Amino acid sequence: MKLCRIIDKQFGQTYAISQPDGSLRRCRVNSPFELETVEITGEAVCPEMFLPPIEPRSILCVAGNYRKHVEEFGTPPNPDIMVFMKNPASAIGHQQPIVIPSVCGDEVDYECELAMVISRPCRDVAVRDARNYILGFTIANDVSARIWQKERGGGQWCRGKGFDTFCPLGPFLITPDEVANPNDLRLTTTLNGRVVQDSRTSFMTGSVDDIVSFLSQGTTLLQGTVILTGTPEGVGWARTPKLLLQHGDTVTITIDALGELTNSVIRKTSL
């Protein structure tokens, strides 16, 4: 199932399911966490706006999960999984603009990532059982203000990673039966038509199963928690010269089996 949450002119906020021909059909959903209750009405919808597929309860992010990304920043590998959080209010949908706030300089970067959504509360999950708690997968862009991340956040990344609009998600929540192997998917970032990231989730240090298990140790993962699994090499801050998001840019992230997430970029010039 490929489920999206949209604003439709006729129905307002509603859920829809992508059909094999690419069209969207409205569906009734008691809860996105009860997908067995989904009822397709057959009514065609035309999105005025894509919303994040679910409203995140929290957003947990894994850093340094691709060795070459760690190397491009020149930092030593960390034997432990590094975790940070993004503000749930930073989530936006497909085709909504990433807004560079006036408090940011020329520092805002793209990061393509596979994301997953937790289906029900869980704690102390064994690696072998991790898939039982994954509602589905989606595409994420871990937009990052690098100066805030490294210098102005008091040593924490949450501020530089958590500005409004800094977590595009979607367009669809893809149920696990549609994803043959989430640990071997191609993911790319295209900036203004130029491919700037191109890798596979098979290069992740920790698999999706490892990540769910690790994050749940001694910690309850709430239903609706979104987990970002890290980005591969090719980010703009590590390039010479740097390649950072600018007003008027368009960034598209593509992941096998999940589709494309596209967002324009605008800069806010005043408070």
The pLDDT tens digits for 87-135 are 999 999 999 999 999 999 999 999 999 999 999 999 999 999 999 999 9
Q: Is residue 30 predicted with pLDDT exceeding 90? A: no
pLDDT band per the 50, 70, 90 thresholds, residue 37? confident
Task: Summarize the confidence of residues 156-182 as an average pLDDT.
Answer: 96
Which stretches within the chain are classed as H helix?
Answer: 67-72, 146-147, 158-161, 208-216
Residue 51 is predicted with a pLDDT of: 98
Residues facing residue 47 across a β-bridge: 8
Cα 132 to Cα 21: distance, rounded to the nearest angstrom: 30
| Integer Cα distance of 114 and 200 in angstroms | 10
Q: Specify the CATH number for 58-267; select among 3.30.70.580, 3.30.70.1060, 2.40.170.20, 3.90.850.10.
A: 3.90.850.10
Residues in a beta bridge with 15: 5, 27
Tens digit of pLDDT for each residue in 181-220?
A: 999 999 999 999 999 999 999 999 999 999 999 999 999 9
pLDDT of residue 214: 97
- Average pLDDT along the chain: 95
What is the distance between the alpha carbons of residues 121 and 183, in angstroms, rounded to a whole number?
23
- Looking only at the bridges linking them, the beta strands covering 259-267 and 250-255 are antiparallel
User: DSSP letters along 15-64, please?
Assistant: EEEE-TTS-EEEEE-S-TT-GGG-EEEEEE--EEEEEPSS--SEEEEEES
Instruction: Give the integer Cα–Cα distance in Å for 47 and 20.
Output: 17
Is residue 15 within 8 A of residue 29, CB to CB? The reply is yes
**Whether residue 162 has pLDDT greater than 90:** yes
pLDDT at residue number 81? 81
Query: CA-to-CA distance for 62 and 83, rounded, in angstroms?
Result: 5
Residue whose entry in the numeric block shows the structure tokens 């957003």: 59
The domain segmentation of the chain, as residue ranges, is 2-51, 58-267
pLDDT tens for each residue of 234-266: 999 999 999 999 999 999 999 999 999 999 999
Collect all residues with Cβ–Cβ distance below 8 Å to 179 and sequence separation of at least 6.
137, 185, 257, 258
Write down the pLDDT at residue 87: 97
Tell me, what's the pLDDT at 269? 83
